[in-house]
Amino acid sequence: MMVLRRAVSAAALLATLLPVSVASPAHAADGVSACRPPAPVTLDAEQERLADARTTALVERAGLGDFVRRLPAALCATRGPAEAERLLDSWGQALWQASVRRAQGQRPGGDLAPGDDRPLYWARLGMTAVLARWQPQFSIDRAALRARFEDASRGLTDNAFRPAPGVRRIFISGFDPFGLDAEIRRANPSGSAALQLNGRRVTLADGSPAEIRAVVLPVRYADFDAGMVERAFAPRLAAGPASAHIITTVSQGYPGIFTLEDWAGRARSADPYPDNARTLSGGTRERPVTAPGLGPGPEFIRTTLPADAVTAAVQTPYPVLLNTEVTEIPAGATAPVDRPDGPTPGSRAVAGGGGGYLSNEVAYRSNRLRAELAPHLPGGHLHTPVLTGLPADPQLLTGPEFERNESAITAEVRAVLEHAAVRR
């Protein structure tokens, strides 16, 4: 009986979060189907992982399954491209809002820990697979529709600060899970922190109030090439009541420690390690490449976060360290050199403190834009500890140690922000 009551409660709440269009009929008014049968399409590398039943279990055990199940009928009720755009905007925003509410303990349903970021990731992918198979009676730009849905379901839209006098505004980004071919159960504590902190009012170390807004970015080179980082950060860096007072990107980094990265490099150099789409960057340590779509900027950008204040104040349960290391090709040389104390004049970037992967690139892109639009703002990158604690049994999706570690990392991300955002 308790299980039944919980299911009914979750269903009722889901009905309040799904867009109204979900209740629309799947047929046009004249009785003719609004779309053809789903097509047998080739899914992309990320969507192919949905064949593993554990991905569906993560969605269902978080109470998000109806988002995937009910999207086909909603798509079939649309009458044209503009209506499809509006529907995917609203469904993406609803998925984001439901995931944020769940992470913050405001949405019952499912037995996974509230802060688990994996259900949002796999629900989003399931919905993009539905979109890939959808065969409407009218022409669509499928890639553009997916991009709209991705932005909305990641917090890029309808997620502005609430202007209030005296309230500091903190904007952060996290990431999807990655490395899923090695372990499909992996989560990303930066994404979990983003969900748990988005929209939160917190008290800074000096007693002043602040609001945090967050987005969760994909681990895909193509989305970075298409300007997703700039779309996420530009509205928060433009002057006005919706602008941030401080920004920081967040990603998963090293075992057992937090690191504030002193330097972000302009290059990609992570191959042969792929992104979530199994795509390579084209850059290696010996032959770094510049990411497409980057505006003008230096080879390295230094953090403007108050690193000394943060590292002096926050050290538990994980140490917080300033990482000053970089890899460069010195001026006039051709071979990469590791430097413990930052770059030398005229060098070519190979890797920032966060390496030559997307965690380094999100720091570079966001802070290059910050230097262009709001150079007075503090900005930088925070690496969290690696999230550990998954049970040894591969069929077990979560466990007490995993959940404790995830909660502890988010709590310390919050503590870092509460010290970093103090007005100076």
What would the mean pLDDT of 141-161 be, rounded to a whole number? Answer: 97
Across the chain, mean pLDDT equals 92
Q: What is the pLDDT of residue 320?
A: 97
If you ran DSSP here, which 8-state letter would residue 36 be given?
Answer: E
Position 34 scores a pLDDT of 65
Strand, coil or helix: what is 392? coil
Q: How confident is the model at residue 163 (pLDDT cuts 50, 70, 90)?
A: confident
Model confidence at 155: pLDDT above 90: yes
pLDDT of residue 18: 62
- 240 token code pair: 């006005």
Using a pLDDT cut of 90, give the percent of the chain over it: 87
CATH of domain 168-420: 3.40.630.20
Residue ranges of domains in the chain: 2-153, 168-420
Nearest CA-CA partner of 273 in 339, 180, 390, 336: 180
Q: What are phi and psi of 298, to 5 degrees?
A: -75, 170
| 156, 235 contact by CB (below 8 A) | no
Cα 238 to chain center, whole Å? 21
pLDDT tens sequence across 64-89: 999 999 999 999 999 999 999 999 99
pLDDT reading at 2 higher than 90: no
Name the pTM for this structure: 0.92
pLDDT tens for each residue of 363-417: 999 999 999 999 999 999 999 999 999 999 999 999 999 999 999 999 999 999 9
Residue 30, pLDDT above cutoff 50: no
Judged against a pLDDT cut of 80, whether residue 208 lies above it is answered with yes
